[in-house]
């Protein structure tokens, strides 16, 4: 995990050098994209999200339906006391 963080910091330094921004500004800009996706997912709506240069992230309706059914079954078991 340390090596991954070092690479990330090196990329931030490179971007800061090219753009003239601070490391904190660069990190905030990069992390904001992923915080946005996290917010969308936490809402449970699973809207399609397009991130420039990375692609379009979407959940197939069949997979979403399957996951919702699985979650409903888990909830029913919890309510009925089955473990």
Domain positions in the chain: 2-80
Q: How far apart are CA 28 and CA 36, in angstroms?
A: 12
| Strands annotated E in the chain | 49-51, 55-57
What tens digit of pLDDT does each residue of 3-59 get? 878 998 999 999 999 999 899 999 999 889 889 888 877 787 777 888 888 888 887
- pTM for this model (two decimals): 0.52
Does residue 1 have a pLDDT over 80? no
């Amino acid at each position: 995990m340390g090596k991954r963080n070092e690479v990330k910091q090196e990329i931030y330094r490179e971007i800061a050098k090219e753009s003239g921004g601070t490391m904190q500004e660069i990190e905030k800009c990069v992390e904001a994209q992923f915080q946005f996706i996290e917010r969308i997912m936490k809402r449970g709506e699973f809207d399609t999200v397009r991130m420039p240069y990375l692609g379009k992230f979407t959940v197939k309706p069949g997979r979403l339906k399957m996951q919702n059914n699985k979650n409903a079954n888990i909830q029913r078991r919890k309510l009925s006391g089955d473990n």
